[in-house]
Structure 1
Amino acid sequence: MWKPDRSTRKPIYQQITDYMERRISFGEFPPGSVLPSERKLANLLGVNRSTVVLAYEELRASGIVESAQGSGTRVTKHKWGLTPKQTPNWKTYVEGGTFLPNLPFIRRIREELRKKTGIIDFASGELSNDLFPADTIRSLLQEHPFLGQLGYEDPQGYRPLRQTLVSFLEEHLQIQSTDASILITSGSQQSLYLITQCLLSPNDAVAIEDPSYSYSLPMFQSAGLRLFRLPVDEHGINPEDIITLYRQHRIRMIFLNPNFQNPTGSIMATERRIRLLEIASELGIPIVEDDPFTLTALDGNPPPTLKSLDKTGNVLYIGSLSKIAASGLRIGWLLAPQTVVDRLTDARQQMDFGLSTIPQWIAEQFISEGHFENHLKTLRRELEKKRNEMVRGLQTIMGDYMSYTLPQGGLNLWCKINREVDDFKLLDEAIKRGVLFVPGSVYGSDQGHIRISFARPHFDEILPGLSYLKEALDIHCK
């Protein structure tokens, strides 16, 4: 948010006048639109209301805005009076289009993270900066000069990286693949986007977990898909529910996160996995396995992936470095039959001509030289410390306010608030005290659940953050 510069000689009201004039001329406030009230703009800019009054008077004197009793201050229909030039009404464009904006809660959380420093972040589902392998990446760049070409890369992805992933996935997750069956993407999100846009059609029925990270992604609604939910308990989804949904709605695809599920942290039971694969094979329904967390298993023994158990080729497997190494590299991968990879590669080329070679080269070096494996050992140890500190804080600070299930991997705790709460009001109280979380309703859950990340905050922020959250609950639940 722009703020007046108090170190210059230019009067603050004149700075505000110029700022608002620029916003009007750029079309942020189209002709006829209402400007923020004097009081609201003063609060946003951190100035006295009288300063904004002077600024608005300047704009009125220039013929740029006009005021009427009871209707506020508006941009004049024909700015600067003489030539009736029309600025596009960007508001109608912004509200148009088929790609929907993020949910209001998500936008609110991201806005607070952008504008506030020092806020304790229990909301972001990523690692804290001290858990990124930054020193290793710097060393790789210094010790191994990049010798690749800087033209467009193969849109399917840098082949040495795909070849390295074949070995890595087989060794660590028992997943069989070939480099031709792997598409490199800019994270899991792009894999999901390509699948929804290229393999499904508007009005197709798909099944997602309940609660589910997928529920928070407007891309599903933007693609015109009909979402049907599969309830998740401590052992994952019940595969028999898929038969019911198929009979009722002819679902065409299933989206699952079976290991350390986001947001609940649950692990699908082995017998359920086997039955799920049997049902999917019998009905001919593809399963999209989104797997960001399996390698975070705190005991170092990752549960099996659906892909490793898949004998009939029903599973499309999505993996990524974002949650467990470096989100800024934007490296993900999708394993699929060759025909699917070809289709998605073609679409990917139309979108961006393929990912930059340099981050793919870094990722290949990071994995092939054993750095990723060493990083995972350190990561598991540090995540376990943070998880235990979060649990200790919940026990000593929250008391009977919250209940939870202890996750054995992943980055988050799924908590139930044992009081009646309003998600929006509770988040608002928490923000006032300098702490963020994700309300459960973002994932399709009923109110009264929250997801708190133990991976994103630094270790010494966890207990203070829980104390602030307890204060917010005390105020809200009076």
Structure 2
Amino acid sequence: MWQPDRHSRQPLYEQIAADLQRRISSGEFPPGSLFPSERKLAERLGVNRSTVVAAYDELRSIGLVESRTGSGTRVNEIRRGAMSLHAPNWSRYAEDGSFLPNLPYMRKIREAVARDSSLIDLASGELSADLAPSGEFAALLGDYRYDAYWGYDNPQGYMPLRQALVSYLDRHRGIRTTETSLMITSGSQQSLYLITQCLLSPGDAVAVEDPSYCYSLPMFQSAGLRPFRLPVGDRGINPEDVFALYKKHRIKMLFLNPNFQNPTGTVLVPERRKRLLEIASELGLPIVEDDPFSLTAFDRDVPAPLKAEDAGGSILYIGSFSKIAASGLRIGWMVAPRSVVERLADARLQMDFGLSVIPQQVAAEFIKSASFEPHLERLRKGLRLKRDLLIEALRERLPGLVAFDTPRGGLHLWCKLQREVHDGRLLDEALKRGLAYVPGSVYGSDSGFVRFTFARPQEGEIADGVARFAGALRKAIV
């Protein structure tokens, strides 16, 4: 009997739906015939029942089957006598598009988190509700008089928010800029997407940290770019590696997360920062600086961004509220030369006519409010406590089995496993036990690394999450 291919990049539910569609077309399941129950087919194929549910949903969406409570799922009677007619092969269309899907591990993790609300989430890179400024937002929403006009806004972003960001960047990041050199985006990923689509061309070589969050984003491959790796050590990347890559491959852009790097948590040291800026200026090489974590510095010793020292104008600076306030606001920004901002704003206009004005108004008021800095202090304390709980649990549960450096900021703990293990098997074992985390290979590293994010779970869940991981690791060790 047919079985799904568990090594395929195609999700299991799509494979099952495609097989059933073939069997309907061949007449094996004629109109009106009853499909196996979701539970029975799941047992027969060795998959979760939710996978079969998703496959049946796929067939319902194209009109091939219908389901009725108490009667099960049947091939649609309307197709009787018309079996020579075929619905479009939507699965093939979905596979053939030029924009690549998320990596299989990431899809598996997100599906598991969405399916099981009791799962402990050490994977999602966002703040838990207790760390978000929910009370502050509620007060702002109650007191603020919103602009009367809610039509399309400037694709560069809401002007009062850009004005507030000019002051914010000067005060908190040491960056001097103007409203015309700022663009509001729906987060760092949209900034990266616009850069890869509008400022680079298929075949261009770019330099990316290794490991790096960028490797988890198929948008680089979708744009036809050729990424080359820059190893990240405990002092960040080596600037001389950038020079070597430029000489060998003529890289056109460097993507960098110098402060509390994702996933390693490292900070690029001052002498390397200086040398990197010298090289960028010498080569005329643009640097995209992604800086989402700096203000989370646990000891309040906030590292300066490269952009603050950018005398040569080499850096496109990206920031976001997702890691310091609320990911649901979907507010990010980019500081860039005016010609770049105008080009990207034009592209944004073609995509979505710009962001909703309402969250931009909320963000503008929050930055200017007296509650912003107290929130940052509360956030740092909360993140530091969760980091310490995670480290304490790892040392207690997995002595000698994991190694890590203690991060001084950010949301993540990067761990190296001290025994050989298969990434896929370990992840499956952890998900079975109700724990999500991200395998290090998602970020371009070799097998045997994991990234735990301590911002999302509640304090009381962290030790339990580590206990579940410990059980999965001992089961998966080769």
Q: Given the two structures, how large is their TM-score scaled by the length of structure 2? A: 0.86
The yes-or-no answer on 1:40 pairing with 2:41 is: yes
* Letter paired with 1:229: R
**Residues 1:158 and 2:158 are matched in the alignment:** yes
SS of structure 2 residue aligned to 1:303: coil
**Cα distance in 1 between the residues matched to 2:365 and 2:173:** 19
In the TM superposition, what whole-angstrom CA distance separates every residue of 1:374-430 from its partner, at most 9, and x where no partner exists?
211100011111111111111111111101000000001000010000000000111
Distance 1:29 1:116, change over 3 A: farther
Q: Is the 8 A contact 2:206 2:255 kept in 1?
A: yes
CA RMSD for the aligned pairs?
2.7
Deviation at 1:282, TM superposition (A): 0.4
CA contact under 8 A between 2:25 and 2:83: conserved in structure 1? no
Distance in 1 of aligned mates of 2:28 and 2:290: 44
Structure-2 residue corresponding to 1:333: 333
Alignment of 1:393-432 (within 5 A): 393-432=393-432
Aligned to 1:112: 112
Contact conserved, 1:239 with 1:275, CA < 8 A, in 2?
yes
2: CA distance between counterparts of 1:32 and 1:386?
56
Superimposed CA distance per residue, residues 136-156 of structure 1 (whole angstroms, 9 cap, x where no aligned partner): 111111111323411001110
The residue identity in structure 2 corresponding to 1:102 is N
Are 1:388 and 2:374 an aligned pair?
no
Query: Structure 1 CA distance, aligned partners of 2:135 and 2:320?
Result: 20
- Please name the residue that 2:305 is paired with: 305
The residue number in structure 2 matching 1:14 is none
What CA distance in whole angstroms lies between the structure 2 residues aligned with 1:33 and 1:134? Answer: 56
**1:354 alignment counterpart:** 354
**What are the superposed Cα offsets for residues 15-48 of structure 1, whole Å, 9 maximum, x if unpaired?**
xxxxxxxx99xx999845999987434665489x
1:220 CA displacement: 0.2
Matches within 5 A, 1:14-413: 31=25, 39-41=40-42, 44-45=48-49, 79-82=79-82, 84-413=84-413
When the two structures are aligned, how many residues end up with a matched partner? 434
Distance in 1, Cα, partners of 2:22 & 2:127: 36
Letter in 2 for 1:215: Y
2-structure distance, mates of 1:145, 1:450: 46
CA distance, structure 1, for counterparts of residue 457 and residue 337 of structure 2: 39
**How much has 1:312 moved relative to structure 2?**
0.8
Does 137-146 or 459-468 show the bigger shift? 137-146
Indicate the residue corresponding to 2:451 in structure 1.
451
Compute the displacement of 1:238 (Å): 0.2
Q: 2:312 is aligned with what amino acid?
A: T
Residues 220 and 426 from structure 1, CA distance in 2 versus in 1: closer, same or farther, beyond 3 angstroms?
Answer: same
2:391 maps to a residue whose letter is V
Gap change, CA 1:393 and 1:82, over 3 Å in 2: closer
Report the secondary structure of 2:141's partner residue. Answer: helix
Deviations 1:156-204 (A, max 9, x none): 0000000010011101110110011000000000000000000000000
| Deviations 1:275-331 (CA, angstroms, capped at 9, x unpaired) | 000001100110000111011111112111010010010000000001111000000
**Structure 2: runs of 5+ lacking an equivalent:** 1-16, 30-34, 67-73
Once the two structures are superposed, residues 349-368 of structure 1 have per-residue CA deviations (whole angstroms, 9 ceiling, x without a partner) of 00000000000000000001
Counterparts in 2 of 1:242 and 1:115: CA distance versus 1, 3 Å:
same
- In structure 2, relative to structure 1, the CA distance for the partners of 1:34 and 1:261 (3 Å cut) is farther
**Letter aligned with residue 342 of structure 1:** E
Q: For residue 336 of structure 1, what is the amino acid of its counterpart?
A: A
User: Contact between 1:397 and 1:467, CA under 8 Å: does it hold in 2?
Assistant: yes
Q: Structure 1's 86 and 231: CA in aligned 2 closer, same or farther, altered over 3 A?
A: same
Distance 2:24 2:314 in 1: 51
Structure 2 match to 1:7: none
Residue 460 of structure 2 corresponds to residue 460 of structure 1: yes
User: Does the residue aligned with 1:95 lie in a helix, a strand or coil?
Assistant: helix
Question: Secondary structure at the residue paired with 2:171?
Answer: helix
Measured at CA, do residues 462 and 44 of structure 1 come closer, stay the same or move farther in structure 2, by a change above 3 Å? closer
TM score, norm. by length of structure 1? 0.86
Distance (Å, rounded) in 2 between the aligned partners of 1:279 and 1:182: 25
Cα contact 1:31–1:75 (8 A) shared by 2: no
**More deviation, 390-399/336-345:** 390-399
In 2: Cα distance, 1:331 partner to 1:258 partner: 21
Secondary structure at the counterpart of residue 230 of structure 1: strand
Residues in 1 aligned to 2:151 and 2:284: alpha-carbon distance in whole angstroms: 40
User: Once the two structures are aligned, what percentage of the paired residues are identical?
Assistant: 55
**2: CA distance, partners of 1:84 / 1:107:** 35
Distance 1:299 1:28, change over 3 A: farther
Alignment gaps of 5+ in structure 1: 1-22, 50-54, 66-73
Q: Helix, strand or coil for the counterpart of 1:450?
A: strand
SS of 1:265's partner is: coil
SS of the counterpart of 2:311? Answer: coil
Deviation per residue, 1:201-237 (Å, 9 max, x gap): 0000000000000011000000000000000000100
Is the 1:28–1:91 Cα contact (8 Å) retained in structure 2?
Answer: no
Shift of 1:135: 1.1
Q: Is the 8 A contact 1:197 1:223 kept in 2?
A: yes
Question: Given that residues 426 and 473 in structure 1 are in contact (C-alpha distance below 8 angstroms), is that contact kept between their aligned partners in structure 2?
Answer: yes
SS in 1 for 2:96: coil
